[in-house]
Amino acid sequence: MSSLVGPDEDDPRGKPAVPEHVQDAIRTLIEWAGDDPTREGLLDTPARVARAWKEYCLGYNEDPAHHLARVFEEVGGYDEIVLLKDIPFQSHCEHHMAPIIGKAAIAYLPTDRVVGISKLARVLHGYARRLQVQERLTAEVAHCIQEHLNPRGVAVVIEASHACMTARGVRTPGVSMVTSQVMGTFRKDSKSREEVLKLMGY
């Protein structure tokens, strides 16, 4: 298998093989950027970059909704806001394939079921580990929760910085973008919306 990179000794699990044409594509990019892909320091870079991209995009291998399949119906009459905030995440913009790094706050108003709280973060990561635009990421997380937990309301706020804006283009480090998607009660009732945004810190 000369066209494939074998398992690496520094990874006990063994690293996945990277097809030669994928490595070639990355060599082409290195050349296009102005460097020499045959110099020593860059020899293993194409395989590393390829594996890194598989990891950045792990979300394509899953349906994030499956994290919401296991619910708890014994909620003891609790029907107020459930909020998970400051959830760090990383994604990549579909326009430049540049990092989007930020945090999310996800809230819902349960009816008769709740999920393990970590599942909300898993749903976020399932959608974030794809090529994204922040607006769609925000909407996808909200709709997934709405559809599978059937809560009275859902609110998702995402705040992130985009490397395509901070490291290139207008080069404005420190700028962050905020997007929100509110549904159900949070959309219809401004008091509920204010309450959830306040809990989120907005």
Which residue ranges make up the annotated binding site for Zn(2+)? 93, 96, 164
Give the one residue of 15, 48, 96, 143 binding Zn ion; rule: CB under 5 A: 96
User: What does residue 18 show for φ and ψ, rounded to 5 degrees?
Assistant: -115, 120
Closest CB to Zn ion among residues 39, 95 = 95
Least gap, CB of 171 to Zn ion (angstroms): 13
Choose, by CB under 5 A, the member of 66, 70, 95, 168 that binds Zn ion.
Answer: 95
The per-residue DSSP string of 43-110 comes to TTHHHHHHHHHHHHTGGGG--GGGGGSSEE---TT--S-EEEEEEEEEEEETTT--EEEEEEEEEEE-
Q: Are 13 and 6 in contact (CB under 8 A)?
A: no
Count residues near Zn ion (CB under 5 A).
4
- Whether residue 183 contacts residue 142, with contact meaning beta carbons closer than 8 Å, is answered with yes
Beta carbon of residue 125, minimum distance to Zn ion (angstroms, whole number): 20
- Residue ranges in 156-175 that form contacts with Zn ion under rule CB under 5 A: 164
Nearer CB in complex with Zn ion: 1/170: 170
Which residues carry a binding-site annotation?
Answer: 93, 96, 164
Pick the piece of the chain touching Zn ion (CB under 5 A) from 45-53, 73-81, 89-97, 123-131: 89-97
| Partners of 82 in the β-ladder | 108
Question: 71-84: buried (b, 16+ CB within 10 Å) or exposed (e) per residue?
Answer: beeeeeeeeebbeb
Q: Could you give the 3-state DSSP secondary structure of residue 167?
A: coil
Interacting stretch for Zn ion, rule CB under 5 A, among 56-64, 68-76, 85-93, 182-190? Answer: 85-93
Residue 108 tokens read as 């819902």
Which residue is nearest to Zn ion, using beta carbons? Answer: 164
Minimum CB separation from Zn ion for residue 82, in Å?
Answer: 32
Contacts to Zn ion by CB under 5 A = 93, 95-96, 164
